[in-house]
Amino acid sequence: MLVAARSRSPQFGRARQTGFTLIEAVVSLMLLAVMSVMSYQAVEVILGANDRSRGQLEDESQLHRAWQVISRDIMHLRPRAFADGLGAVEPAYITDPSEFGLRFSRGGGPMVRSNPTGISRIEYRINSEDQLERLSWPITASALNVEGNRVILVNGVEDVEVEQFSRGNIFSPDWPPTNESHHELSLPRMIRFTIILQNGSETTRLLPGLAFDPSLTSGLTGSGSGSTPNGDAGTNEN
């Protein structure tokens, strides 16, 4: 008996989906965008911190150089009055009581024909661009007729405070002190110098001055120490 075999037609099921749906694609793109933004912000933070660190290092280096210049100037204080070009004579060391300003005579410079003593007049002040600047010119020249050598020491300066230790054993913001009688050649025994920056930081140095009594001028000249009130021997420094 022959049994007719039932022919079976092949069954075709649904093809299995192997791609992403639209929602999955949108979610993936959103996650990628979020990760990209987070990566960019992280890089931006790192670069910003690097820039701030570089700026702080530059500020510290600038302050370090400024303190070196200021310390050398104070170390070479000299009791030498200065003619201001208007017929008046400035004391060897003087501050401006109205605003920061400091002027004094400094030795240790090159002894040339135009300035055989090697003494210069130094001025520290804050200019209109909030910079601490140093001006210098030969003691034989007038500040009104000769443009001094100008050097910018520190940027972004808020204020500078200078206090002088006087014979009364007090620090005075003015020199000559208003409550003491001083000779025009008198110099402070010690100087407290403070630089205040606009970023809120400040640094202070206590610098030794030169306790000079005009009555001892002749003794200093013949002391054999290599320095006199009018110049230096064997020192050549600007």
User: Which has more pLDDT, 182 or 206?
Assistant: 206
Helices assigned H by DSSP within 76-191:
none
Predicted TM-score (pTM) of this structure: 0.66
The rounded mean pLDDT for the chain is 77
Considering the domain boundaries, does residue 11 fall inside one?
no
Residue with tokens 């075999």, as numbered in its chain = 5
Sheet with 149-154, strands from edge to edge, namely 93-95, 101-106, 120-126, 132-138, 149-154
- Residue 107 domain boundaries: 73-218
pLDDT tens digits along 18-38: 666 878 777 888 888 888 888
Can you read off the two tokens belonging to residue 9?
A: 């037609």
pLDDT tens digits along 1-14: 444 445 454 554 55
Can you read off the two tokens belonging to residue 211?
A: 């306790």
Considering the domain boundaries, does residue 177 fall inside one?
yes
Q: Specify which residues 174 forms β-bridges with.
A: none
Considering the domain boundaries, does residue 82 fall inside one?
yes
pLDDT tens digits along 136-145: 988 877 666 6
Q: How many domains does the chain have?
A: 1
191: Cβ contacts below 8 Å, ≥ 6 apart: 74, 162, 163, 164, 165, 206, 207, 208, 209
Closest CA relative to residue 132, chosen from 208, 193, 53, 79? 193
Considering the domain boundaries, does residue 168 fall inside one?
yes
Considering the domain boundaries, does residue 148 fall inside one?
yes
